[in-house]
């Protein structure tokens, strides 16, 4: 069972309805800015990871993991609602979809993201995961705020052609097709969501378009990370946190 204690924080899997409700409440606060429960049909089939303050038990971060035995099950994922993922049906190894990642808006400690990735690393190692994927979200639906970030994604981080997701959602921003600008690297990284930034530092790649999700008020890109492609130094760092 996933359970880590690192400094000020503990990570564990949700074990009860109350644990799941706490995660859903934090998600609603993060995604909508109000009290409530963010719940959907994927929650019952996922593992839910909680990051809590060791002293108080306060939930400061959560995400969920949907394990898949291989590419043949990719259509069962949350991401498959928004992306045409038939190319990934050929992926041979075990996969995991990481979703609904959020950090409490009142907590600004960068260690939380590091500890969360340590927990994910433990899960990946324990379950032999070969591809980690999900939707990485930009806040808001105005692509003009993120043109340098999207230009950098086009220039450096597009998915290999053999795995490239195709368009499925009714409203998308085809940044790889439309943008002709040279990215300002500093502005691009400032505007890049922290979760996506971490994926990219480990060698992750993205779809060539962003989905406009009006319900969640986000622009999101499909993000994939082939575990065997993570640079050795980054693997050692993550496993140091997960150990």
- Report pLDDT digits (tens) over 137-186: 999 999 999 999 999 999 999 999 999 999 999 999 999 999 999 999 99
pTM exceeding the 0.95 threshold for the entire prediction? no
Q: How many Cα atoms are found within 13 Å in the side-chain-facing hemisphere of 9?
A: 25
In the prediction, which pLDDT does 3 show?
66
Report how far residue 84's alpha carbon sits from residue 167's, in angstroms, rounded to the nearest whole number: 6
Number of Cβ within a 10 Å radius of residue 147: 18
What domain count does the chain have? Answer: 1
Distance from C-alpha of 211 to C-alpha of 189, rounded to nearest angstrom: 20
Residue range(s) defining the domain that contains residue 103: 3-242
pLDDT of residue 229: 86
Alpha carbon 199 to chain centroid, angstroms: 8
């Amino acid at each position: 069972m996933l359970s880590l204690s690192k400094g000020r924080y503990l990570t564990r899997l949700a074990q009860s309805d109350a644990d799941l409700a706490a995660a859903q409440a934090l998600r609603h606060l993060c995604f909508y800015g109000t009290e409530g429960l963010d719940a959907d049909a994927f929650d019952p089939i996922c593992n839910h990871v909680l990051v809590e303050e060791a002293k108080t038990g306060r939930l400061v971060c959560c995400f969920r993991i949907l394990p898949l035995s291989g590419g043949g099950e990719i259509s069962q994922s949350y991401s498959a609602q928004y992306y045409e993922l038939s190319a990934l049906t050929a992926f041979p190894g075990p996969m995991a979809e990481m979703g609904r990642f959020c950090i409490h808006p009142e907590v600004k400690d960068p260690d939380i993201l590091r500890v969360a990735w340590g927990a994910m690393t433990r899960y990946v190692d324990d379950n032999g995961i070969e591809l980690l994927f999900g939707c990485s979200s930009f806040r808001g639906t105005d692509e003009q705020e993120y043109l340098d970030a999207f230009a950098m994604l086009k220039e450096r981080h597009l998915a290999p052609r053999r795995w490239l997701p195709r368009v499925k959602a009714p409203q998308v921003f085809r940044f790889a097709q439309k943008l002709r600008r040279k990215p300002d690297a500093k502005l691009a990284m400032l505007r890049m969501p922290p979760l996506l930034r971490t994926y990219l530092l480990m060698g992750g790649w993205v779809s060539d378009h962003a989905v406009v999700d009006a319900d969640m008020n986000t622009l999101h890109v499909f993000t994939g990370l082939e575990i065997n492609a993570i640079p050795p130094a980054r693997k050692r760092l993550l496993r140091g946190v997960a150990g």
